[in-house]
C-alpha cells in the first residue's frame, strides 16, 4: 500500500460496527470482562485502548516496524527508553541533540547510573574512539536539532551490529515519509509526535517503534509499569494528523527550499543550515538515505541584535517553541530549546545568540519571505 493511502486508512482493524469513517474515541479508563478469566482484549487503558492501538499499528506500519508504543510526550518516550539500561551502562549520543534529550541524559539518566559521551556521530571514527566494554547503545538525531547535521544511519548500523549495540534514531524531523531508520539498520525509532505526526500544534505525544519482538516485549513491560501512555483523545488527534502527513510534508518542504535559497542571498544572514541545499556538507548522505529533506532550517545572522530584531518583528511567523505544525514558528535555541546546555558547550557547538531555527509551515512561502524581509530591515 502506498504511504499516502496508509496514512489515511491506517490499521485495517475495525473497532465498532457502526460504519463510522473516523476511528471512535474510546474514552474509557477500564473495560468490562465478559466472564471470569475472559477478556475483550482490553482491560485497562494504561495497558491498551482501542483508539491508541489503531494509532500504534498505523505508525508501526508507516515506519516498517512490528510494534509502536504511543506515549504522553516525546520526553516520556525517551525516559521509558532509558529504562532498558542498567546502572553502569554507557551510551554514545550525537553532540548536537535536542536540549530536552540532553537534559534527560545529563540530569536524570546519569543520576540513575548511566554514563554518556556526546560526539559528532557523522564521523564514525569518533563513535569508534568512544566505545567501551560498557557501551550498550548509540543514540542519534539525524538531522540534528538545531544545526541540521546528518548521520549516515546505515554506516552507524554496521558499526553497532558489529559490536552488538542498540542503534536508536530520533526521526522527528523527517518522519517515516522522508526517512525510515529501521530499514537502514536501526533498532529503535523515537518520535516526538507533537511535531510533524500531529502536525497542528494542538497535542503532545511521543513514540517508540521497533522491529524486534524481544525489544517490543521489554518496552511493553516498561510501558505498562511506568504508565506514561497517550490518552484516547490525544491518540485520536494523532490519527487525524497523520492522515495529512504526506501532503503537509511535501508542501512544507517545497516552501522550506524556497526560503532557504532566499536566506542564502541576504547580507545579514551569514550561514544557512538546510539539508536540502546542495551546499550542505551532508547533502549527498541525505539524498542516499532519505526521500526528502524536510522543512527545518536554522540560520545565523550577522549580529545578535539582528536575531533579536527578527524575533520581535515577525508578524505571520510566530516566535514560539516546537516545530512541525501547519503554522510557521521561529525559535531562539540559546534561550529556548537548548537553554539547559552550559553556555561554553553551546557556543562551541555553534548554538549562540545569532542562531535562529525556523520550522516552515503551510502558509504561502512568498508571505513568509516578505515577513522575514521586513523583519530583517
- Please report the sign of the dihedral spanned by the C-alpha atoms of residue 340, residue 321, residue 369, residue 312: negative
202 noted as active-site residue? no
Phi, psi of 270 (to 5 degrees): -100, -15
Tell me the three state secondary structure of residue 21: coil
170 noted as active-site residue? yes
pLDDT in tens, 80-124: 999 999 999 999 999 999 989 999 999 999 999 999 999 999 999
Tell me the three state secondary structure of residue 135: strand
44 noted as active-site residue? no
User: Which segments of 244-359 does DSSP mark as H helices, in order?
Assistant: 245-264, 283-289, 304-313, 343-349
Class of domain 3-243: alpha beta
In the chain, at which residue ranges do the beta strands (DSSP E only) sit? Answer: 67-71, 90-94, 115-119, 135-141, 166-170, 188-192, 206-210, 269-273, 296-301, 318-319, 329-331, 355-359
**166 band by pLDDT with thresholds 50, 70 and 90:** very high
Catalytic residue among 67, 89, 96, 98: 98
Is the pLDDT confidence value at 132 over 80? yes
Is the pLDDT confidence value at 340 over 90? no
CA trace torsion 184, 187, 191, 196 (10° rounding): 20
**In Å, what is the CA distance from 261 to each residue of 84, 178, 256, 271, 365?**
43, 20, 9, 11, 12
* C-alpha grid cell, residue 129: 574512539
Contact present, 31 and 43 (Cβ < 8 Å): yes
CA distance 206 to 16: 26
Note the pLDDT of residue 56: 98
Is the pLDDT confidence value at 349 over 90? no
What architecture is domain 245-376?
Alpha-Beta Complex (3.90)
Give the count of beta carbons closer than 10 Å to the beta carbon of residue 161. 13
**304 band by pLDDT with thresholds 50, 70 and 90:** very high
User: Please, what is the average pLDDT of the chain?
Assistant: 96
195 noted as active-site residue? yes
Q: Is the pTM of this model over 0.95?
A: yes
Is the pLDDT confidence value at 348 over 90? no
Where are the chain's structural domains? 3-243, 245-376
Note the pLDDT of residue 191: 98
More confident residue, 137 or 335: 137
Q: Which residues are within 8 A (CB) of 33 and not within 5 positions of it... i.e. 6 or more apart?
A: 39, 40, 43
pLDDT in tens, 199-255: 999 999 999 999 999 999 999 999 999 999 999 999 999 999 999 999 999 999 999
Least confident range from 94-98, 195-199, 318-322: namely: 94-98
Note the pLDDT of residue 350: 86
CA distance 5 to 23: 16
**342 band by pLDDT with thresholds 50, 70 and 90:** confident
DSSP sequence for 169-232: EE-TTTHHHHB-GGGGT-SEEEEETTTTTT-SSS---EEEEES-HHHHHHHHHHHHHH--BPPH
* C-alpha grid cell, residue 325: 505544525
Catalytic residue among 15, 42, 46, 218: 46
Catalytic residue among 67, 89, 152, 170: 170
Catalytic residue among 136, 195, 243, 346: 195
Contact present, 261 and 45 (Cβ < 8 Å): no
pLDDT in tens, 23-65: 999 999 999 999 999 999 999 999 999 999 999 999 999 999 9
Rg (C-alpha) for the chain, rounded Å, is 21
Amino acid at each position: 500500500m502506498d504511504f499516502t493511502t496508509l496514512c489515511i486508512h491506517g490499521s485495517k482493524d475495525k473497532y465498532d460496527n457502526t460504519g463510522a469513517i473516523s476511528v471512535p474515541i474510546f474514552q474509557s479508563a477500564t473495560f468490562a470482562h465478559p466472564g471470569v478469566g475472559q477478556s475483550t482484549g482490553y482491560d485497562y487503558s494504561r495497558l491498551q485502548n482501542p483508539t491508541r492501538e489503531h494509532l500504534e499499528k498505523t505508525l508501526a506500519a508507516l515506519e516498517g516496524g512490528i510494534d509502536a508504543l504511543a506515549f504522553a510526550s516525546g520526553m516520556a518516550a525517551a525516559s521509558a527508553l532509558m529504562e532498558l539500561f542498567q546502572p553502569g551502562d554507557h551510551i554514545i549520543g550525537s553532540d548536537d541533540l535536542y536540549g530536552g534529550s540532553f537534559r534527560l541524559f545529563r540530569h536524570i539518566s546519569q543520576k540513575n547510573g548511566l554514563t554518556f559521551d556526546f560526539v559528532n556521530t557523522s564521523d564514525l571514527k569518533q563513535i569508534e574512539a568512544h566505545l567501551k566494554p560498557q557501551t550498550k547503545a548509540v543514540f542519534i538525531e539525524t538531522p540534528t536539532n538545531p544545526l541540521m547535521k546528518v548521520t549516515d544511519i546505515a554506516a552507524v548500523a554496521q558499526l553497532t551490529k558489529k559490536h552488538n549495540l542498540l542503534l536508536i534514531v530520533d526521526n522527528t524531523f523527517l518522519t517515516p515519509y522522508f526517512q525510515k531508520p529501521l530499514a537502514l539498520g536501526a533498532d529503535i525509532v523515537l518520535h516526538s509526535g507533537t511535531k510533524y505526526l500531529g502536525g497542528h500544534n494542538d497535542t503532545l505525544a511521543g513514540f517508540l517503534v521497533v522491529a524486534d519482538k524481544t525489544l517490543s516485549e521489554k518496552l511493553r513491560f516498561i510501558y505498562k509499569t511506568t504508565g506514561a501512555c497517550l490518552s484516547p483523545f490525544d491518540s485520536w488527534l494523532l490519527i487525524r494528523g497523520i492522515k495529512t502527513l504526506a501532503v503537509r510534508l511535501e508542501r512544507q518542504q517545497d516552501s522550506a527550499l524556497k526560503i532557504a535559497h532566499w536566506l542564502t542571498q541576504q547580507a545579514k544572514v551569514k550561514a544557512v543550515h538546510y539539508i536540502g541545499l546542495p551546499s550542505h556538507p551532508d547533502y549527498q548522505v541525505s539524498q542516499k538515505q532519505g526521500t526528502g529533506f524536510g522543512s527545518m532550517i536554522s540560520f545565523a545572522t550577522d549580529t545578535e541584535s539582528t536575531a533579536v530584531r527578527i524575533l520581535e518583528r515577525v508578524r505571520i511567523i510566530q516566535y514560539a517553541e516546537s516545530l512541525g505544525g501547519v503554522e510557521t514558528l521561529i525559535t531562539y535555541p540559546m534561550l529556548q530549546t537548548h537553554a539547559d546546555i552550559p553556555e561554553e558547550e553551546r557556543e562551541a557547538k555553534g548554538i549562540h545568540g545569532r542562531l535562529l531555527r525556523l520550522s516552515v509551515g503551510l502558509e504561502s512561502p512568498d508571505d513568509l519571505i516578505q515577513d522575514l524581509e521586513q523583519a530583517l530591515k
